Structure 1
Amino acid sequence: MRFGVLGPLMVLDDEGRPIKIPEVKVRALLADLLVHEGRPVGADRLIDDLWGAEPPGNSANALQAKVSQLRRAVGRERVVHRAPGYLLRLGPADEVDADRFRALATRAGSARPETRAALLTEALDLWRGPAYADFADEEFVRAAAHRLTEQRLAVMEEQAEIRLAEGDHLLLTGELADLVARHPLRERLRAVQLRALYLAGRQSEALASYEELRHRLADEFGVDPGPELAALHQAILRQDASLDLPSRAPAALREDSPPGVPDRPRTNLPAQLTTLIGRRQVLEELDRLLDGVRLVTLIGPGGVGKTRVAVEAAARLAQRAPGSPRAWFPDGAWLVEFADQRGGVAGLAQAVAATLGLNGDVPAGPEAPRAPADRLVAALRERRMLLVLDNCEQVAGPAAELAALLLRAAPGVRVLATSREPLGLAGETLCLVEPLQPDDAIRLFTERATASAPNFALDEETREAVAEICHRLDGIPLALELAATRVRGLGARELAARLQDRFRVLTAGQRGAAARQQTLRATIDWSWELLGEPEQIVLRRLAVPAGGWTLDAAE
């Protein structure tokens, strides 16, 4: 059995299947016992934590009833009476995800540099949201949740420093912006951001970030930034050569590893904060295809989760061991975002080169190719990597042209594209990402709704409404996630009733999501704007008839 507290409270059986903990007070009891990590908790303390200033009439019997319900869920041998109260009997050291997280972080501290980053990434991948997310407002979890959050931030800072040393500053500038905004007073985190911005050629933004921290510290605490951060600020002002990396190319594209020690595949794939649900079949298909096919395009409607599937598939491929009989990528798996690109092939080639940090690797001299696409091809000719070209529909023609150039001239490069339409190249294999099946849609909605509204639970009262929501939203993951954020304010039944006008209801996305994913209307508009005028006319006409629509009728 495994217990999860790094996010909403979760219990899994030995086969990895979720175990339902029946109601809020029982879940709170389990959380309270987990907070104490196998130590006894007094009955009076448990009663106070569960009911606060309004305990039930016979509080001892009420607590015993909740203990009995918890025992039925996790096993009688797990919840043990131990004077003056109860304890949760835990098994192996890694049975609780928080313990696994701490163990991995400790191992990373004494590991060799080439394995430290992998251990830190594995530790951070255990997080599914804020610690004890269901009970974030409860006093009994506050200290434990704060302690875990501090440990998580320390690991994130260490991981960012390692990535910065390896040349990942281009990606770090974006990833650190939100983290610094949420934790503006952490000087170690701010230092990594300043160096990343400076290395990305954004010196003025680095200086502005330092000034923002300096004013905040002065206004709130009457102090100045620490000496290390102040020294970094002066080095940025001087453009000190000590700030430059030995090589601007990412580690995967350098060939300076010690003899006999293969590089771990490098990647800029973002760590995921939530579980991927219902995509086992398409992931297995991608794993099989990318063993032999050099261009695979994931296609499907907006919001269906093409990018998430592509990132998950690429991450699995990047973890294959060197020398594997199956396809592996010693030069890494890299995500290149085309959503904000509007130029031609040259602009896309520059975006790929910037992501890979290839400015120092392109050939120089009078005979060197001048066009950005030709320079990119020359730099990748001997590389073995997987490129994930995301959101190609915005630039379908130039993206297809660039992919064709790379595939012809760089035989070790494979391309996994995401698009709402095929690229139309010879050798392209299409892989359809479909809406979720009903059971998976319900599971996704329930998990996201629980994270947004800790008191929400899928039970006999809410199951019918949740099934109706998932049916009306056609199993589209983005729509389900947008809907899940409204459960806290509306409840499942009211949300289902209001979905007659889904564009008005689904308007509250996650902060940090791309603009096209903030609302359902924005997602639809993204597709609509790709259509030419004749296509828009036809689509408006298709919206009028009710019932079926055959090919003959459409023609």
Structure 2
Amino acid sequence: MRYGVLGPLAVWDAEGRPVRVPEAKVRALLANLLVHGGGPVPADRLIDDLWPSCPPGDSANTLQTKVSQLRRVLGRERVVREPAGYRLLLADDGRDGRDGNSVVDSVDALEFQELAERARAHREPSVRAELFAGALALWRGPAYADVAESLFARGEITRLEELRLNVVEEHAEARLSRGEHTALAAELGALVDLHPLRERLRTTHMRALYRAGRQGDALGSFQDLRRRLAEELGASPGPEASALHEAILRQETRLATPAVGSPSSRTNLPAPLTELIGRREAADQLLARLAPGGDTRLVTLTGLGGVGKTRLAVAAARDASGRFADGVWLVELAGLAATATPDDIAERVITTLGLCDTAASEPDLDDLVGWLCRAVADRRLLVLLDNCEHLVEPVAVLAGAVLSAVPAAHLLLTSQEPLDIPGEVVHPVPPLTLPDPTDPRTIAQAGAVELFVRRAAAAAPGFVLDADNAEAVAAVCRRLDGIPLALELVASRLRTLSPHELAARLDDRFARPDVRVRGLPERQRTLRGMLDWSWQLLTEDERAVLRRLVVCADGCVMASAQAVCADAGLGAGRIPDLLSRLVDRSLVVREGDRFRLLESVAAYGAERLAEAAEETVVQARFVRHCAELAERESERLRGPDQRRGLEVLDAETVNLRRALDLAVTRDAAAYAVRLVNAQAWYWFLRGRLTEARRSLRTALAAGGGADPAARAAARAWLAGIELRTAEPGAEAAPTGGDPTEGVGDPVLRARLQWFVGTGLTGGGHHGDGRRLVEAGLAGARAARDRWGEAAALVELAGHAPGGDASAELGAALFVEAGDRWGRLRATRALALAAERGGDRERAERLHREGLLMAEELGLWTEVVEALIRLGGSALAGGRAERATELYERALSVSAERAHSVGEIRAEVGLGQAARLRGDLVTAGRHLNRARAKSHASGHAARAEAALAEPHPPPRA
């Protein structure tokens, strides 16, 4: 049972159907038991509460009669008698219900408090706002409205009303931080009139008024607060309200409207580990070239490896972040193979911008460069493509397309050579400035010296530049040509050497002929010599770890380093200590829990790996480890660790791609198939269907060597993916037979039958699709796979009689499994069933639950779907303002994620909400925008169908 006390007393059964509780005294009895939260209430107390002025003659028997009536409605097991009194069983106390299961009921007041606590735990304003909105939506009127005059309920009513007002204030603050000041300025006025002395509510309203351009009203509100406090309480406004009043008078900039998606949240630039040294002037020059609206839209930083191109580019991009409303994004290309195509690079950009799931909803997946250009056509953004030297030609193709199609886009590149395309401005990055040998007084001002001293002080605490060591430090910096990487490598030597000893060692070393590598520019020889020297100072085990780490294209965590670097002669237990020593020597960089090699060190390590004749064996270990990691994390994607599994596979994406490339080129087809089978579900959840299709095809084309059952599974995954990426109306796949034939594992086969079956259904092959899903359901039950059973039940819910029961059971199984994605699918099915049954309140509650799960998993098309559904429900209920708020948010998310269908549907919804308000001019503007966007994106037919609907259309 579910009990409602946030309004008139209400009871619903497990299916959400209302349960009638007859007679006022029986309802009062239930309310009294609910007020006590499942605790015992003595019979004498109940009698006094129910008949406060004139108890009946045989009051004990009369009370027992009311209890019996309540038990007939709720079930005998729910109202129990104990020595301390009567109690309503609300939680699982180990008591059995009529079906032998534990009795677990809920109360909307408890749900309200739990949602509010979840909201307070979130830092993201949008998630907080939605959770608070969900909590407030549970209120149907004054708490305990039926018994509001009863003495026993007054304390609980007061407590709940205070909690509600607190949540109203917190919700308003979250919406204000999301930029909804105009709506709040209008909405909060009536609430302030009802509660004129609540200063938190008042200050939120004042901020909203000020941001909405109503400064006079904001100041007037403060004066009203001051007057009321003086007259009614003899008090003055508190410090927060007074400070806000002063800030409004001074029009302080901190009161300005926050940018939705402000630069701090609209970027993936890493936080700087150390200060930028010796490059401030260069960063300022670069920043000047990145001015939006300027003639320069493509800047390429060139220079030798180790000179600091990436560090300078990231610093300049961070400084420029406030100029680009749609964000500044770092796209790392070092992990891509030299054979990568422009579409491969576009896919990396799409993933970085968070557009992958919306890209997957579009039919034109064979031209990712074109799709990317259309998706960001109206955006003002800066994209930093890092380490392009091995991909000059495909990067040039992508850059040319983006610059032509996206007039407000800017590109910043790092490469050892320029692209040589029209519009490119080449910005050479020289080494750091060197000290003037003729003027010892200026040594400390040189950029190279400053960097060396900072790194030396970090390596040898207490080190300072002074008159005794200044000349030696200057000599070291000049000998190393001011190359930042070389300076960082040698600075760690000051743990054991003095600056004079270090300078002497370098003089001796660079005088030897073996450091003069023919064919290299002078400064490149310097860096090579420095790497050689650093290498020679390592132990054999340190060298082994350094060269073996090269195979991890995107760095690795400690466990991966142990798996790749350890062998029979070097135990895994020794890797952490060896890795720590390499970090101390600046040969390995630690970022959080990941260890990375700088590009120059990686190139050097690759040479040493080849010299040691270890390439084949280390790459094999890497491929095996990646396959095992992907298989392990794939299992977590269907349970309570789903979010963590997604995060791990996100972080390892580049390495997993590298492993697949190696498996194919090294003729390890068995591992190639294992890798794609393990990642297929992850690719689906993340919307990376293009990558899934390409990778599955590549693995299947790799030749023999793979287990036939594994190849059959890969073919089934590919069939399901191709069904989902086919253009509308295309005959994309099997309409007979079972594409999962040959898959040996019964659990996997049942899941694949469901996966391919749902793809067929979505493509219009309803009969074939349903047969496969039903086969998957039978197979899952036979294999006792609860996840597979849940997935099939939810899919069949909308296509068979008794679908609500199937969806309920599927939802329960997904809850048991702890799978949020599954719960989202089940919740959507239940909400649609509630819509069909006319139960708008239940449908809204379920859509809100689905919205929160979609936001937590980052499934943005599902977020938009839930918002549009909620908007439609608000429209149907005549709540035009609430509908407008929901559709505006759907439009914002759709625009941010380049979800064209979502934009069209949101515009249609906004037009219909404007009609409901009687604003025909605004309605026409939104509907015309929907038509324009539909023709531009190729969704004209869908938009026209939406425009013909009296209410927002069903799911696209």
Question: RCO greater where, 1 or 2, for CA within 8 Å and sep 6 or more?
Answer: 1
**DSSP-derived class of the 1:62 partner:** helix
Which of 903, 915, 925 does residue 392 from structure 1 map onto?
Answer: 915
2:848–2:866 Cα contact (<8 Å) kept: no
Write the mapping of 1:78-477 to structure 2, written as runs, cut at 5 A. Answer: 78-92=78-92, 95-113=106-124, 115-247=127-259, 255-256=326-327, 323=859, 328=864, 385=903, 386-387=906-907, 388-389=910-911, 390-392=913-915, 394=918, 396=920, 399-400=923-924, 403-409=927-933, 411=936, 429-431=947-949
CA contact (8 A) 1:318 1:332 kept: no
CA distance in 2 between partners of 1:8 and 1:413 (Å): 49
Note the C-alpha offset of 1:317.
9.9
Residue equivalent to 1:450: none
> Who is 2:795 aligned against?
none
Per-residue CA deviation, residues 39-69 of structure 1 (Å, 9 max, x unaligned), is 1111111111111111111111111111111
Counterpart of 2:931 in structure 1: which amino acid? L
Shift of 1:233: 0.7
Q: Is the 8 A contact 1:197 1:205 kept in 2?
A: yes
User: Which deviates further from its counterpart, 256-265 or 66-75?
Assistant: 256-265
Contact 1:172 1:193 in 2 (8 A): yes
Distance 1:310 1:256, change over 3 A: farther
Letter in structure 2 aligned against 1:146: T
Deviation string, structure 1 residues 196-225 (Cα, Å, up to 9, x no partner): 000000011111111111111111110011
Q: CA deviation at 1:99?
A: 1.2
Quick one: structure 1 residues 414 and 64, their matched pair in 2 at CA, closer, same or farther if it must change by over 3 Å? Answer: farther
* Aligned position for 1:482: none
1:177 CA displacement: 1.2
Compute the displacement of 1:309 (Å): 13
Secondary structure of the residue that 2:55 maps to in structure 1?
coil
For 2:7, the equivalent position in structure 1 comes to 7
Alpha carbons 2:172, 2:184 under 8 Å: kept: yes
TM-aligned CA distance change 1:313 to 1:27, over 3 Å: closer
User: CA offset at residue 384 of structure 1?
Assistant: 5.1
Deviations 1:397-422 (A, max 9, x none): 7744662255215756999xxxxxxx
CA distance in 2, matches of 1:41, 1:148: 20
Name structure 1 gaps, 5 residues minimum. 266-279, 281-304, 339-351, 362-376, 416-424, 434-555
Give the Å deviation of 1:105. 1.6
Q: Contact 2:134 / 2:845 at 8 angstroms: preserved in 1?
A: no
Q: How far is 1:4 from its partner?
A: 1.0
Task: Report which of the two has the higher share of helix.
Answer: 2
Structure 1: which amino acid aligns with 2:110? Answer: D
Name the CA distance, whole Å, in 2 between partners of 1:50 and 1:218.
42
- State the alpha-carbon separation in 1 of the partners of residues 928 and 258 from structure 2: 33
Q: Deviations for 1:134-159, whole angstroms, at most 9, x for unmatched residues?
A: 11111111111111111111111111
Q: Amino acid of the residue matched to residue 111 of structure 2?
A: R
Amino acid at match of 1:189: L
Q: How far does the alpha carbon of each residue in 1:295-346 deviate from its partner, in whole angstroms, 9 at most, with x for none?
A: xxxxxxxxxx9x99999999899776655777947998998999xxxxxxxx
**Structure 1 position 118, deviation (Å):** 2.8
Alignment partner, residue 421 of structure 1: none
Contact 1:3–1:97 (Cα < 8 Å) also in 2: yes
CA 335–23 in structure 1, closer or farther in 2 if over 3 Å, else same: closer
C-alpha contact (below 8 Å) 2:179/2:258 kept by paired residues: no
The whole-number CA distance in structure 2 between the counterparts of 1:313 and 1:140 is 33
**In structure 1, C-alpha distance between the alignment counterparts of 2:914 and 2:144, rounded to whole Å:** 35
Q: Distance in 2 between the 1:160 and 1:413 partners?
A: 38
AA partner of residue 403 (structure 1): L
Q: How many percent of aligned residue pairs carry the same amino acid?
A: 44
**For residue 47 of structure 1, what is the aligned residue in structure 2?**
47
Aligned partners of 1:126, 1:164: CA distance in 2, in Å?
Answer: 22
**What is the letter of the counterpart of residue 58 of structure 1?**
D
Q: Which amino acid aligns with 1:408?
A: A
State the AA in 2 paired with 1:21.
Answer: V
Residue identity in the other structure for 1:431: E
Structure 1 residues 35 and 257: alpha-carbon distance in aligned structure 2, compared to 1, 3 A threshold: farther
Supply the distance in 1 between the matched residues of 2:328 and 2:843 (Cα, whole angstroms): 29
Q: 1: CA distance between counterparts of 2:16 and 2:154?
A: 28
Cα offset for 1:261?
Answer: 8.7
Instruction: Supply the AA of the counterpart residue of 1:392.
Output: R
Structure 1 distance, partners of 2:136, 2:938, is: 29
| CA distances 1:321-377 after superposition (whole Å, capped 9, x unpaired) | 655777947998998999xxxxxxxxxxxxx99x969xxx9xxxxxxxxxxxxxxx9
User: Is the 2:2–2:12 Cα contact (8 Å) retained in structure 1?
Assistant: yes
CA distance, structure 1, for counterparts of residue 845 and residue 78 of structure 2: 35
1:57 and 2:57 correspond? yes
The number of residues matched between the two structures is: 352
What letter matches 2:238 in structure 1?
Answer: G
Further displaced range: 66-75 or 97-106: 97-106
Amino acid at match of 2:949: C
C-alpha distance in 1 between matches for 2:60 and 2:30: 17
Alignment of 1:463-542 (within 5 A): none
Q: Distance in 2 between matches of 1:396 and 1:161?
A: 31
Q: Report the AA paired with residue 76 of structure 1.
A: R
* CA RMSD, 1 decimal: 4.6
- Which consecutive residues of structure 2, in runs of 5 or more, have no partner in the other structure? 93-103, 267-323, 331-351, 359-797, 799-837, 876-883, 952-956
Please give the alpha-carbon distance, in whole angstroms, between the structure 2 residues aligned to 1:330 and 1:255: 24
In 2, are the aligned partners of 1:331 and 1:384 still within 8 Å (CA)?
Answer: no
Q: CA deviation at 1:262?
A: 5.6
Matched, 1:76 2:76: yes
Inter-partner Cα distance in structure 2 for 1:256 and 1:332: 26
Letter of the structure 1 residue corresponding to residue 232 of structure 2: E
Distance change (3 Å), C-alpha of 1:324 and 1:56 = same
**1:174/1:6 Cα in 2 relative to 1: closer, same or farther (>3 Å)?**
same
Shift of residue 125, structure 1, vs aligned partner: 2.0
Per the alignment, do residues 318 and 20 of structure 1 end up closer, same or farther by CA in structure 2, a change over 3 Å counting?
closer
Residues 404 and 25 (structure 1), Cα distance of their counterparts in 2 relative to 1, 3 Å cut: same
Distance 2:149 2:167 in 1: 24
SS in 2 for 1:41: coil
- Distance in 1 separating the partners of 2:22 and 2:130: 37
Q: Give, in angstroms, the shift of residue 91 of structure 1.
A: 2.1
CA distance in 1, matches of 2:7, 2:175: 25
TM-score scaled to structure 2, two decimals?
Answer: 0.33
SS at match of 1:11: strand
After superposition, the Cα gap between the structure-2 partners of 1:310 and 1:207, relative to the gap in structure 1 and judged at 3 Å, is farther
**1:26 corresponds to:** 26
Instruction: Tell whether the 8 Å contact from 1:406 to 1:413 is kept in structure 2 after alignment.
Output: no
TM-score (norm 1): 0.54
Q: Distance in 1 between matches of 2:948 and 2:17?
A: 32
